[in-house]
Chain A
Amino acid sequence: QSALTQPASVSGSPGQSITISCTGTSSDVGSYNLVSWYQQHPGKAPKFMIYEGSKRPSGVSNRFSGSKSGNTASLTISGLQAEDEADYYCCSYVGITTSLWVFGTGTKVTVL
């Protein structure tokens, strides 16, 4: 099972909106509405940000939103803030006959 494809880096100025793509296949992202997103600051554990493609857990800012179209999921950060500078990973369920879960390649978000 290959990793989902994410852009290596995305940048934006404070207050702007950015979108991170997560491209898979019809066997993973395209087959299940089970994409989740994680934020990871340097030296820290990942933090749970989005589940089922577009739902936010309690405590996550509404500046973070998720969506999916076909085999590509996306994470949008609106009103970009300095604290949003981090690595972001998508993750998709891929079924019990394979490796169950596959992560994306990761995206470094830089706030200019």
Chain B
Amino acid sequence: QVTLRESGPALVKPTQTLTLTCTFSGFSLSTGGMCVSWIRQPPGKALEWLALIDWDDDKYYNTSLKTRLTISKDTSKNQVVLKMTNMDPVDTASYYCARGRLAGRCDAFDIWGQGTMVTVSS
């Protein structure tokens, strides 16, 4: 069974750096074609793709947030970490990690974590 679970602080202050961890099971990020993305959703608003890392350690970012984002993986721990710098109240959102569809070489997000709510406030 494939599962993903996000973890991180529920509250961060403006200008701080947010660090989120996605811990997964049931698959390996060392498998060719595998990838994990981070996606966020402000309260009452739409989903927004943030970043993707694949089995080959290639990394891709939302161009509008690229300067603030860093995605990395620890294959031995089955974890993907997202760092977002200079947090602002507009970054308040639920943050999800999701697995890319393996058969399609990451052409869709087939399994999602439950999400973690992050509030940015002083």
Which of A's residues lie within 8 Å of B, judged by CB? 1, 3, 34, 36, 38, 45-48, 51-52, 57, 89, 91, 93, 96, 98-106
B109 at the interface (CB under 8 A from A): yes
Q: Which residues of A contact B96 (CB under 8 A)?
A: 45-46
Segment with Cβ contacts to A, from B9-17, B18-26, B46-54, B82-90: B46-54
B104 CB to closest chain A CB (Å) equals: 6
Query: What 1/0 flags go to B59-71 for Cβ under 8 Å of A?
Result: 0111110000000
B8 CB to closest chain A CB (Å) equals: 16
> Assuming A103-B46, A103-B48, is B114 touching A48 (CB within 8 A)?
no
Q: Name which residue of chain A comes closest to B47, CB basis.
A: A103
Selected from A47, A52, A100, the residue in CB contact (under 8 A) with B49 is: A100
> Assuming A45-B112, A57-B110, is B46 touching A100 (CB within 8 A)?
no
Q: Which residues of A contact B111 (CB under 8 A)?
A: 48
Q: Name which residue of chain B comes closest to A57, CB basis.
A: B110
Total interface residues on B, CB under 8 Å, equals 26
> Assuming A51-B104, A91-B108, A103-B46, is B60 touching A45 (CB within 8 A)?
no
Q: Is B107 a contact of A48 with CB atoms below 8 Å?
A: no
Query: What 1/0 flags go to B96-109 for Cβ under 8 Å of A?
Result: 10100100100111
Q: Which residues of A contact B46 (CB under 8 A)?
A: 3, 89, 103-106
B113 at the interface (CB under 8 A from A): yes
Q: Which residues of A contact B63 (CB under 8 A)?
A: 1, 98-99
Contacts A48-B111, A51-B110 known; list 13 others, CB within 8 Å.
Answer: A1-B63, A36-B109, A45-B114, A45-B115, A47-B112, A48-B110, A89-B47, A91-B109, A99-B62, A101-B37, A102-B49, A103-B49, A106-B45
